[in-house]
Each structure stands twice: as structure tokens, then as C-alpha cells.
Structure 1
Amino acid sequence: MSRKSKAEPRQAIALNYDGHNAPVLSAKGDDELAEAILAIAREYEVPIYENAELVRLLARLELGDAIPEALYRCIAEIIAFAWYLQGKTPPGFAADAERDVS
């Protein structure tokens, strides 16, 4: 008799970031709702970042909750990369400024 492992449900979350305050959880869902969240993101050309462990952590939040401080750096790096892909820069940031990478 073979054992079938039950596949974990597909999960998705969406964050809203206003550029000033910590990002907040604006949507979350499993299975069909997760697919709907992803479809809306694709429709509006919102970058999608896949990380099941991060989604599980963020899915514990209630809608409207700010992300926990422990995830600030991780989420900041994802947002920065998404902005980079879209050719955006934060206000007051000079894209061609020299950086100290030492």
C-alpha cells in the first residue's frame, strides 16, 4: 500500500507599502483564494516573489497588521529588488550615486 503525502495548500499573501511605514498585510489566502491573489498581481504587473517559508510566517498575521520587525530587512530587500525591476527608486535616492561597498 503506497502512502500519498497530502500536498500542502498553495498559499499567497500580499503586502502594501506606502514608502513611510512598515508594510502591512493586505491579502492572504489558500488554494483558490491564493490563485486569485496571484492572478490579480499578474494582471496589474505586481512582481511576485515565491518563498513558502516567508508566506507561512506572514500568513499568521491578521489583515492590516504591519510586518514584524524581525522581517524588516528581508521584506526591505524584496521590495528594493521589486522596485529595481520596475525601474523605480525611493524618493531622495540618486540611482547613479557612488556607494561604499567595502
Structure 2
Amino acid sequence: MQQKAIALKYDYSSAPKVTAKGSGFLAEKIVSVAKENDVLLHQSPELVEMLSTLELGEEIPEALYLAVAEIIAFAHNIKNHQW
């Protein structure tokens, strides 16, 4: 199965938006850029499949708010409590 990656941006003023998406080589580049910029990576094949149906710049649907909010909260917790 080919690797897929989705990048989201959340600016606290609206729902998170898809800022990058791709599979194969493009997915590898998205992950590489995220790592280079110390962006937390979360692996969820099911969520990636759902998010991959969205267009670039599109807000996530309300049905995914809770799942994405939990990931954002987890990322903030890790960032604020680095050991």
C-alpha cells in the first residue's frame, strides 16, 4: 500500500484546513518537511483516507472535529511538556 500524508493548518479562528496532501513520493516529502520543522506527526490511516477526499484549502468537515481536536490537543500537550 502506498504511503499517504495530509498536512493540516489550524489558526484558532476557523476549522483546520488541508494545506498539503499526497501519496508516494509527495507523501514522503510532506513527512520530511514536517520533520525538518519539528511538526508532530500522527499516524492514522483511517483519518488520512477521510481527509484525502478534501481539496487543498478546504476546512475539515464537522464530523472530523473531535478526532482532529484530540490530535491537536495531544500535540500541544507534548509541545508544552517536552521532557
Offset of 1:84 from its aligned partner? 0.6
Write the mapping of 1:45-56 to structure 2, written as runs, cut at 5 A.
Answer: 45-56=38-49
Offset of 1:73 from its aligned partner? 0.6
Counting aligned pairs with the same residue, the percent is 48
**TM-score with structure 2 setting the length:** 0.95
CA RMSD of aligned residues (A): 1.0
Bigger share in helix: 2
Q: Secondary structure at the match of 2:7?
A: strand
Aligned length: 81
Write the mapping of 1:8-19 to structure 2, written as runs, cut at 5 A.
Answer: 8-19=1-12
- Stretches of 4+ aligned residues off by more than 6 angstroms: none
> Which amino acid in 2 is paired with 1:21?
S
* Distance in 2 between residues matched to 1:38 and 1:82, nearest whole Å: 16
Per-residue CA deviation, residues 39-58 of structure 1 (Å, 9 max, x unaligned), is 00000000000000100100
Write the mapping of 1:28-47 to structure 2, written as runs, cut at 5 A.
Answer: 28-47=21-40
**TM-score with structure 1 setting the length:** 0.77
Higher RCO (Cα < 8 Å, 6 or more apart): 2
What residue ranges of structure 2 are gaps of 5+ in the alignment?
none
